[in-house]
């Protein structure tokens, strides 16, 4: 077998001292229209050139309004949906070039948790059997030992191991999400991709599940990609935050820096739009209007149609994601100009 020589990727590493685990470059994904107003055949661009990197053990939040491409990004990173352009390297291996068997083996190391655990759990099988599936499929324990492993996983997510024989409907929403997390952990993954895992839960339960993920991260050294339409949910869980708008990354920064000083007008508007006790300084803009259709995004900066700072030039070129401080990148020429101006006068 010939070894492919994989040239280095463009996106800078979030933590240069930590080995990169997952890297993606130029991810683009379109979907043919389902009919409706725009008619069949019209392409919706869910991702329009996304670069992404995750260090080993790092927790990254991916945020943006519904429809901005978060779930598509998750699926493309796991190679559940192939990218139309761009590539994904997991531990140095290009997912699109892996033979099926190797891709399956690699999938063990990246697990997905969905928004609705009820839809992802089989209503007729005991939760213990469903958690055992991954262990048995990937031969991680002999069948006789699988039950002990299931009991251990249930305890890890804060559930009673004695309830392994129960059916999903016997649990509450929050408990079902714990079961889904236990099932994801059953294969001993390096990365958990959680797509809006608390969005369907009561507010009081959301914090418990977020705390569980936080705790699992520290205990297991788990990498985490936490997707949420609510910026505030990722605040205390994630090391770094990536903000998406209409299929593009518009800002990325260490979580503390992003909340202290959001720089993209969209990030500022998102922060101001969500009621919070911790309103960030400078976040006075309010998010108005609907997100334009991804089938027909505005030219240049897609956010300009809702942006208080929009200038005529914003309609021209697609803004590039450029360095904007330690560990930060920003795709807004006016905000970048302010930064440069501030630096010149500092
Ligand atoms: N399988 C699909 N077929 C057609 N369009 C899709 C499909 N999946 C996603 N889309 C479209 O792509 C865009 C991004 O969707 P998605 O990734 O689900 O966004 P988010 O998770 O941020 O809400 C939306 O306009 C959505 O309608
Ligand atoms: Mg989604």
Q: Could you report the per-residue pLDDT of 204-238, keeping only the tens digit for each?
A: 899 999 999 999 999 999 999 999 998 988 998 99
pLDDT value for 65: 93
Specify the length of the chain in residues.
Answer: 346
Q: How far is the CA of 46 from the centre of ligand 1 (A)?
A: 6
Nearest atom (ligand 1) to Cα of 73: 17
pLDDT value for 8: 47
Per-residue pLDDT for 86 more than 70? yes
Write the residue with the smallest CA distance to atom 24 of ligand 1: 67
**pLDDT category, 278, cuts 50, 70, 90?**
very low
Nearest atom (ligand 1) to Cα of 45: 12
What are the phi and psi torsion angles at 329 (to 5°)?
A: -140, 150
pLDDT value for 27: 97
Q: Which residues line ligand 1 (CB under 6 A)?
A: 31, 34, 44, 46, 64, 66-72, 294
pLDDT value for 35: 56
Max Cα-Cα span within the chain = 69
Question: To the nearest 10°, the Cα dihedral for 101, 103, 105, 109?
Answer: -170
Q: How far is the CA of 215 from the centre of ligand 2 (A)?
A: 24
Q: How far is the CA of 71 from the centre of ligand 1 (A)?
A: 7
Per-residue pLDDT for 255 more than 90? yes
Write the residue with the smallest CA distance to atom 12 of ligand 1: 46
Nearest to 110 by CA among 27, 193, 210: 193
Tokens of 144: 């006789």
Q: E strands of the chain, at which residues?
A: 20-35, 39-55, 59-63, 85-90, 93-94, 110-113, 191-195, 223-228, 240-245, 248-254, 322-323, 329-330
pLDDT value for 336: 97
pLDDT digits (tens, 9 = 90+) for 88-108: 999 999 999 999 999 988 999
């Amino acid at each position: 077998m010939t070894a492919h020589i994989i040239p280095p990727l463009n996106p800078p590493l979030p933590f240069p001292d930590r080995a990169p685990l997952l890297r993606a470059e130029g991810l683009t994904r379109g979907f043919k229209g389902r009919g409706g107003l725009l008619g069949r055949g019209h392409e919706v661009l869910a991702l329009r050139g996304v670069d992404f990197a995750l260090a080993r053990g790092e927790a990254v939040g991916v945020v943006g309004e519904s429809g901005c491409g978060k779930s598509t990004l998750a699926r493309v990173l796991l190679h559940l949906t192939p990218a139309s352009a761009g590539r994904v390297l997991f531990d140095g291996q290009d997912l699109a070039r892996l033979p099926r068997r190797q891709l399956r083996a690699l999938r063990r190391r990246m697990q997905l948790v969905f928004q609705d655990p009820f839809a992802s759990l089989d209503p007729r099988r005991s939760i213990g059997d469903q958690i055992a599936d991954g262990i048995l499929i990937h031969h991680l324990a002999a069948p006789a030992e699988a039950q002990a492993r299931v009991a251990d996983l249930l305890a890890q997510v804060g559930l009673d191991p004695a309830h392994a024989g129960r059916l999903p409907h016997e649990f509450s929403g929050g408990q079902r999400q714990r079961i889904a997390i236990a099932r994801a952990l059953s294969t001993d993954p390096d990365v958990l991709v959680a797509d809006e895992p608390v969005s369907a839960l009561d507010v009081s339960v959301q914090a418990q599940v977020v705390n569980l993920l936080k705790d699992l991260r520290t205990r297991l050294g788990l990498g985490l990609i936490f997707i949420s339409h609510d910026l505030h949910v990722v605040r205390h869980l994630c090391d770094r935050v990536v903000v998406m708008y209409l299929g593009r990354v518009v800002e990325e920064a260490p979580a503390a820096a992003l909340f202290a000083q959001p720089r993209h007008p969209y990030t500022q508007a998102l922060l101001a739009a969500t009621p919070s006790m911790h309103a960030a300084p400078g976040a006075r803009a309010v998010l108005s209007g609907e997100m334009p259709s991804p089938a027909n995004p505005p030219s240049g900066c897609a956010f300009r149609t809702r942006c208080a700072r929009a200038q005529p030039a914003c309609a021209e070129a697609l803004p590039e994601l450029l360095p904007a401080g330690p560990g930060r990148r920003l795709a807004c020429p006016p905000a970048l100009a302010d930064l440069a101006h501030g630096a010149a006068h500092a």
